[in-house]
Structure 1
Amino acid sequence: MSYIIAFVSFSESGKDFPVQCFRTDLRAGDEVVVRRTDGKLRIATISQLQYLNWECNGRIECRRAEASLDETGNINPPKGSPLHVGISTLDAFTKSLKASGWLPIKSRQKMYRAVFAFVNKSSISYIFTRKNGIDIQVIPKVNGNPVKPYSYYEGSLGDGRVVRHSLAHTRFNLLEGVLRFANSFQNNEEHLDRYFVPQGSRDKRTVELKQKAKERKASKNEMLDIYDACSDGSGGPAYLGDGVWIGSGGSLHDWGR
């Protein structure tokens, strides 16, 4: 799973292919080394970058300039590739939270991969990471500091102020955005409204994929209309002519006369 998805093109093809990207310093037009699904390394150019949180088989190993070529022309990525740069993964995000003083705690809900808490002068905040999103909660502080490292979260997301963000289709790096919230909360900022506007979408499809799905649905509905017009009402296949039959689901079959 990769939060950042790079659409890349290879020299022999004008088509864009989505691949995993684990760095925040790349831009459209950059040349990179991509490890394809078959394991082969190829030079590619980034066409665009999107926050989609997709599961792709290919991935960016490094910039083209960071790799070397051996005497036979084989591409050699640097040691430790794929290179990770910046807050590009949930793992990098949680490490940064922990390093800044947020306490790791546990959740009894399996949907949460990690939970962190921090107590400032007036409130307690919890940050929950999910496979496809991040939730934030702020509740008033009561009687000192009730949060202990690796203790269980005993609250309810129905309490206090809560926002649920989705990773897909955010317009900015949500991981960096939530870290900005964490810093603001630690500094006891009073006005946090900007962090409680839900970001992203649970639907991971791009505009192009949504359009293709719409076209497939329209095509299927058209075939169902044809079936209804030709069927005898029994629910069985209907004969169209020239040995072609149409099933009740709109599928075509060459079964002969």
Structure 2
Amino acid sequence: MNNRPLKWARVDDINYLNWDCQNTIECLASEAKFTAEGIALPPGESLSIKGLARPYELAVQLFNMGWLPRRAASKMYRKAYSAVNQTQTALILMRKNGIDVQIINGLPSEEVKPNSVLSISRTDGPFIGQPFHGSRHNILKRTASFAEAFLRDATGLEEMITPLKTTKVLPSPPPRTRSGADDLYSALGGSGEPIYLSDGVWLTSGGGAHDWGR
């Protein structure tokens, strides 16, 4: 959140479209307090949020399971994790509009260190892309279930992450565009974390420029 005023809204329908939006649902209106100063959130976690609701929560859960955080060589991935079981290596790659998973037969030839650079080759093993747009289920929850099952050498791993499309008629996904700020972020060697530009302005991996101060 960027400290913008809270607003009241009505939910008519729920679809998994794009988790990188500018707004998020914080709580039910019945849980908040409407005061002269504005809307106050309830203390603690909202009762209306059940399960994994944000990509950050999946990242925390993967880390707590024992998955290693990595730095993806491709800037399209904001978070990357790897893990091994008895015979396989798996990658979980979190991007703006979805989560990609790869299962590779065999184990690394040398020790893998946390936050080491991760180069990705789609020919190394089954590479399954899960787009948020049009998904029938919560991909964050499905990916967490896969991550736990992989560590214990469960069977049917690929089926757990095969995309399940909704039958609803959905709006088209936003067009893929690149902004000048996005190009500048890449030129400055951004690797997922905000980069300080000047005069209190920071660039983020999504191509945004933010006045966060020095």
TM-score of the two chains, using structure 1 as the length reference: 0.56
CA distance in 1, matches of 2:32, 2:63: 33
CA distance in 2, matches of 1:117, 1:208: 33
CA distance in 2, matches of 1:150, 1:57: 28
Q: 1:108–1:81: structure 2 CA closer, same or farther, 3 Å change rule?
A: same
State the SS of the aligned residue for 1:207.
Answer: coil
In the alignment, which residue of structure 1 is the partner of 2:7? 41
1:96 counterpart (61, 82, 85): 61
In the alignment, which residue of structure 2 is the partner of 1:109? 74
Query: Would you tell me which structure has more strand in proportion to its own residues?
Result: 1
Q: CA deviation at 1:131?
A: 0.6
Q: CA deviation at 1:165?
A: 1.0
In the alignment, which residue of structure 1 is the partner of 2:143? 178
Is the counterpart of residue 161 in structure 1 residue 123 in structure 2? no
In the alignment, which residue of structure 2 is the partner of 1:13? none
TM-score of the two chains, using structure 2 as the length reference: 0.66
CA distance in 1, matches of 2:67, 2:141: 15
Unaligned stretches of 5+ residues in structure 2: 173-214
- 2:134–2:165: 8 Å Cα contact kept in structure 1? yes
Q: 1:55–1:123: structure 2 CA closer, same or farther, 3 Å change rule?
A: closer
Residue type of the alignment partner of 2:7: L
Is the counterpart of residue 51 in structure 1 residue 13 in structure 2? no
Cα distance per residue 1:6-60 (max 9 Å; x no partner): xxxxxxxxxxxxxxxxxxxxxxxxxxxxxxx9x4633x44322111116655543
Q: 1:187–1:145: structure 2 CA closer, same or farther, 3 Å change rule?
A: farther
In the alignment, which residue of structure 1 is the partner of 2:176? none
CA distance in 2, matches of 1:152, 1:74: 45
Mapping of residues 210-249 of structure 1, within 5 Å: none
Q: CA deviation at 1:87?
A: 0.9
CA distance in 2, matches of 1:111, 1:134: 11
1:192 counterpart (157, 173, 186): 157
Percent of counterpart pairs with the same letter?
Answer: 31
Residue type of the alignment partner of 1:94: A
CA distance in 2, matches of 1:154, 1:96: 23
Is the counterpart of residue 147 in structure 1 residue 112 in structure 2? yes
Pick the structure with greater CA Rg. Answer: 1
Q: 1:208–1:162: structure 2 CA closer, same or farther, 3 Å change rule?
A: closer
Residue type of the alignment partner of 1:190: T
State the SS of the aligned residue for 2:63.
Answer: helix
CA distance in 1, matches of 2:64, 2:32: 31
- 2:80–2:92: 8 Å Cα contact kept in structure 1? yes
State the SS of the aligned residue for 2:130.
Answer: strand
CA distance in 2, matches of 1:116, 1:55: 19
> What is the number of equivalent residue pairs in this alignment?
169
Q: CA deviation at 1:86?
A: 2.9
Mapping of residues 112-127 of structure 1, within 5 Å: 112-127=77-92
Is the counterpart of residue 207 in structure 1 residue 173 in structure 2? no
Unaligned stretches of 5+ residues in structure 1: 2-36, 211-257
State the SS of the aligned residue for 1:91.
Answer: helix
In the alignment, which residue of structure 2 is the partner of 1:221? none
Is the counterpart of residue 87 in structure 1 residue 52 in structure 2? yes
Q: 1:80–1:140: structure 2 CA closer, same or farther, 3 Å change rule?
A: same
Cα distance per residue 1:160-196 (max 9 Å; x no partner): 1211111111001011001111111011113223135
Between 1 and 2, higher relative CO (CA 8 Å, sep ≥ 6) is seen in 2
In the alignment, which residue of structure 1 is the partner of 2:42? 78
Q: CA deviation at 1:197?
A: 2.1
CA distance in 2, matches of 1:196, 1:86: 18
In the alignment, which residue of structure 2 is the partner of 1:11? none
